[in-house]
């Protein structure tokens, strides 16, 4: 098998991983620029993908540009491999790139994710690719792109701090619970994508490379391994993560992000790990939890 047949492995009539080589080159250049300037949004000539805008095309373009024959791809949405859109995207790459796919975080070399970071710590040889709907953290404070560009260039981030002040004045807390803005490498304010703030600390000094793709808005950004990522707050109102009183009903974890599941008409609830692979792994290691089930 030579390089040419390798490249054509995959869906009939399409290049490896769907995008043509020129496009991949263009995207990789944007990625390199993003890695060189952590947290800075690099504009790129986003391509039309066969999935709708807003459904992960940015993440997909990044994945398509970095994926190779020997990669193992994991795709999750809301932390689970089996949600419909994760299934759809995983199939897309299985078809157009013919690569191996996996549900196990430990086995994956590339992980494309929507709205969660895996619970299991990632390693240096892994890449986490986030799907981002709106890359601009200041967008809802300042709708104009021309103005937000200046604000980033001049580090004028006071307006965001004003929003946080207002939250504390009104609610006694910073009220943002997901899509919580961060400072990267002490220089650029970044939108971490709509992950729950629970996941923000995982980004700080992560050994894996983190790439972010916003297809709709045509922006790519990156956080290189072992980079400082700090969530915005006040000295006297420090950043806090979410917590639950309950543990996971399946594996007993007291430190994962939990999904709330309504199990009957009376509204009885149950809490289970949102990261299905992590939950499965814990059950394998420790057995299912012995807590009484409702």
Residue 111 contacts residue 118 (beta carbons within 8 Å): yes
One residue of 171, 264, 285, 290 binding another protein per CB under 8 A: 171
Tell me how far, at minimum, the Cβ of 125 lies from another protein, in Å: 27
Binding flags for another protein, 131-160, as an x/- string (CB under 8 A):
--x----------xxx---x--xx-xxxx-
Q: Residue 269 interacts with another protein (CB under 8 A)?
A: no
Catalytic residue among 39, 46, 56, 79: 39
Number of residues that bind another protein (CB under 8 A): 87
Instruction: Using the Cα atoms of residue 198, residue 199, residue 200 and residue 205 in order, give the sign of their dihedral.
Output: positive
Nearer to another protein, 71 or 275 (CB): 275
Q: Residue 98 interacts with another protein (CB under 8 A)?
A: no
Q: Of the listed pieces 65-73, 87-95, 182-190, 201-209, which binds another protein according to CB under 8 A? A: 87-95
Q: Residue 226 interacts with another protein (CB under 8 A)?
A: no
Binding flags for another protein, 176-215, as an x/- string (CB under 8 A):
-xxx--------------xxxxx-----------------
The pair phi, psi for residue 150, each rounded to 5°, is: -65, -40
Per-residue CA distances from 47 to 19, 38, 95, 146, 199 (Å): 8, 23, 19, 23, 30
Cα radius of gyration rounded to whole Å, the chain: 20
DSSP state of 127: E
Residue 145's contacts (CB-CB under 8 Å, 6 or more residues apart) are: 136
Q: Could you say which residues in the range 23-42 bind another protein, by CB under 8 A?
A: none
Structure tokens, 283: 């059950």
279 is catalytic: yes
Residue 264 in 3-state DSSP? coil
Q: Point out the residues that are catalytic.
A: 39, 248, 251, 273, 279
């Amino acid at each position: 098998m030579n390089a040419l047949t390798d490249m054509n492995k995959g869906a009939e009539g399409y290049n490896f991983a769907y995008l043509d080589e020129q496009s991949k080159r263009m995207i990789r250049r944007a990625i390199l620029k993003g890695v060189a300037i952590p947290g800075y949004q690099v504009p790129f000539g986003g391509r039309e993908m066969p999935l709708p805008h807003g459904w992960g095309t940015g993440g997909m373009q990044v994945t398509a540009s970095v994926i190779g024959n020997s990669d193992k791809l994991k795709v999750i949405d809301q932390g689970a491999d089996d949600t419909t859109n994760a299934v759809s995207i995983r199939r897309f790459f299985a078809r157009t790139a013919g690569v191996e796919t996996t549900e196990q975080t430990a086995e994956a070399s590339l992980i494309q994710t929507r709205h969660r970071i895996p619970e299991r710590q990632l390693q240096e040889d892994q890449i986490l690719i986030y799907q981002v709907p709106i890359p601009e953290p200041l967008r809802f404070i300042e709708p104009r792109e021309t103005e937000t560009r200046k604000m980033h260039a001049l580090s004028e981030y006071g307006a965001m701090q004003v929003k946080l002040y207002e939250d504390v004045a009104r609610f006694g807390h910073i009220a943002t619970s997901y899509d919580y803005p961060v400072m990267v490498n002490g220089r650029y304010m970044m939108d971490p994508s709509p992950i729950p703030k629970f996941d923000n600390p995982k980004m700080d000094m992560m050994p894996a490379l983190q790439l972010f793709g916003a297809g709709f808005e045509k922006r790519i950004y990156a956080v290189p391994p072992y980079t400082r990522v700090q969530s915005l707050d006040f000295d006297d109102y420090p950043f806090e993560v979410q917590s639950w009183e309950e543990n996971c009903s399946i594996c007993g974890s007291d430190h994962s992000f939990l999904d709330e599941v309504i199990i009957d008409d009376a509204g009885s609830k149950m809490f289970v790990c949102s990261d299905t692979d992590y939950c499965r792994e814990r059950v394998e290691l420790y057995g299912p939890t012995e807590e009484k089930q409702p």
